[in-house]
Amino acid sequence: MKKLFYNISKLYGTNHRGTFKSGAEMQQLNVVDNAWILVENGIIAAIGNAEAEMPSEVMERVDLSGAEVLPGFVDSHTHIVFAAPRHEEFAMRLAGASYEEIAANGGGILNSARKLQAMSEDELYEQAEARLKLMLAHGTTTVEIKSGYGLTVDAELKILRVVKRLKQHYTCIIKSTFLGAHAFPVEYKNNQQGYIDLIINEMLPVIVQEQLADHIDVFCDKGFFTVEQTAQILTEASKYGIPAKIHANELGLTGGVQVAVEHEAWSADHLEHCEENEIAAFKHGFSQNYGGTMPVGLPGTSYFLGIPYAPTKRFMENGLPVALATDFNPGSSPLCSLQTIWALACTQMKMMPVEAFHAITCNAARALRLENEVGSLAVGMRADFVVTKTKEAIKGIPYFMGQNHIEATFVLGERI
């Protein structure tokens, strides 16, 4: 089945298949003016810009009326399977309590876990699906989803089964991450090793058997999992061949980046607290055969919690790539749109619009090792793209903050 999309005033992100950009390369934008895209069975078969070259034998033709087109956005870090918002903690924080104080009093992740444990799988599915639809409407066509609000064997499996159902019902790429090590449940407060044993001996084997996780994650941070505990979990997961993506350095200089690189993690996410040693660790990672650990900033969390932003400019000055994600979750980033992340990256992290664009497309794809399928528009890639009426979209989208600039979202060449 062939389909031609034409009358595209600007087609952005036309990098070679497999591209991700590091350092100064993140400023280099590939764009085709007056473009067309030929799609065959959901995959890009050709891209061109001269009307004379436009295929004529094509069955279905879609006139995009001079709109601009970008690759579908890639959200490499979300927690969209949750049971309830946490409005009351929002108010507590505004009244002066810190995220850590709320967590220490049984709020935070443990609060979400209690509510999720009590909710049926069907109800959780419906809620997660509504959030996924919202993300698709805002231009996100690849989504990573983590567990971590279960914290019991049954509840963690319940979340991952919800993600599996989403994968079966949606054509967009969905990747699942097992984050049993998100927090210590109350009953393990004085027996942390007991909970780690539960993760390793009870949760992991079932997850592997039912193929419920594409990656493993650990919240390696102050008040959560130590570097040693993180290493223990990642070592066990690596025996099953499950790659790591970890929460690191949100709350302090905790060694999270170093342990991520040591364990050849695909990404280390958060990074609000990073100094020279962390930058050196990332650079070391990219000199190694495993392909490096992508630094992923989550500016929605910094904005919502009022904590520092990851020093993404310093990463780029040191020649590193940078990706950005929403961290969509009920406690620290109730934010579905990568367009807002794009705006925050510019206004708060001082990234250039084009750098932030690459951070939510090709580099975010690399954080999931999907850069051969999504994140750029090139022959052989999936026809996952978004149409915007906004002119000069690379600057216009982050500039007109708070609007949804997406006119239409296409996955495998089909409008959804």
414-415 vs 406-411, strand pairing mode? antiparallel
CB nearer Zn ion, residue 75 or residue 327: 327
Report phi then psi at 106, rounded to 5. Answer: 85, 5
Our CA dihedral for 294, 299, 145, 126, rounded to 10 degrees, sits at: -170
For residue 262, how far is the Cα from the chain centroid? 22
CB nearer Zn ion, residue 4 or residue 179: 179
Please report how close the Cβ of residue 229 comes to Zn ion at its closest, in angstroms. Answer: 18
CB nearer Zn ion, residue 112 or residue 361: 112
Which residue shows structure tokens 């009870």? 202
Cβ–Cβ contacts within 10 Å for residue 406, how many?
A: 22
Our CA dihedral for 115, 271, 74, 112, rounded to 10 degrees, sits at: 0
215-220 vs 73-75, strand pairing mode? unpaired
CB nearer Zn ion, residue 89 or residue 327: 327
> For Zn ion, which residue has the nearest CB?
327
Candidate residues 214, 327, 355, 371; the one interacting with Zn ion per rule CB under 5 A: 327
Please report how close the Cβ of residue 244 comes to Zn ion at its closest, in angstroms. Answer: 14
CB nearer Zn ion, residue 232 or residue 329: 329
CA distances from 27 to 81, 203, 272, 276 (A): 35, 43, 23, 23
User: DSSP code of 119?
Assistant: S
Please report how close the Cβ of residue 333 comes to Zn ion at its closest, in angstroms. Answer: 8
Q: What's the rounded Cα separation, in Å, for the pair 140 and 285?
A: 28
Residue span binding Zn ion (CB under 5 A) among the ranges 40-48, 170-178, 321-329, 390-398: 321-329
Residue 71 CB partners (closer than 8 Å, separation 6+): 12, 13, 361, 362, 374, 375, 376, 377, 384, 385, 386
Please report how close the Cβ of residue 270 comes to Zn ion at its closest, in angstroms. Answer: 7
CB nearer Zn ion, residue 183 or residue 203: 183
Please report how close the Cβ of residue 207 comes to Zn ion at its closest, in angstroms. Answer: 19
Please report how close the Cβ of residue 77 comes to Zn ion at its closest, in angstroms. Answer: 6
73 and 338 Cβ atoms separated by less than 8 Å: yes
Residue span binding Zn ion (CB under 5 A) among the ranges 39-47, 93-101, 188-196, 319-327: 319-327
Total residues contacting Zn ion (rule CB under 5 A)?
1
Residue span binding Zn ion (CB under 5 A) among the ranges 168-176, 189-197, 229-237, 324-332: 324-332
Please report how close the Cβ of residue 42 comes to Zn ion at its closest, in angstroms. Answer: 30
CB nearer Zn ion, residue 327 or residue 384: 327
Binding mask 20-49 for Zn ion (x = CB under 5 A): ------------------------------
Residue span binding Zn ion (CB under 5 A) among the ranges 49-57, 60-68, 323-331, 356-364: 323-331
Q: What's the rounded Cα separation, in Å, for the pair 156 and 113?
A: 9
376 and 354 Cβ atoms separated by less than 8 Å: no
Please report how close the Cβ of residue 327 comes to Zn ion at its closest, in angstroms. Answer: 5
Q: Please name which of 298, 327, 322 lies closest in space to residue 312, comparing C-alpha atoms.
A: 322
Residue span binding Zn ion (CB under 5 A) among the ranges 44-52, 96-104, 157-165, 325-333: 325-333
Residue span binding Zn ion (CB under 5 A) among the ranges 8-16, 158-166, 203-211, 320-328: 320-328
Please report how close the Cβ of residue 329 comes to Zn ion at its closest, in angstroms. Answer: 6
The footprint of Zn ion (CB under 5 A) covers: 327
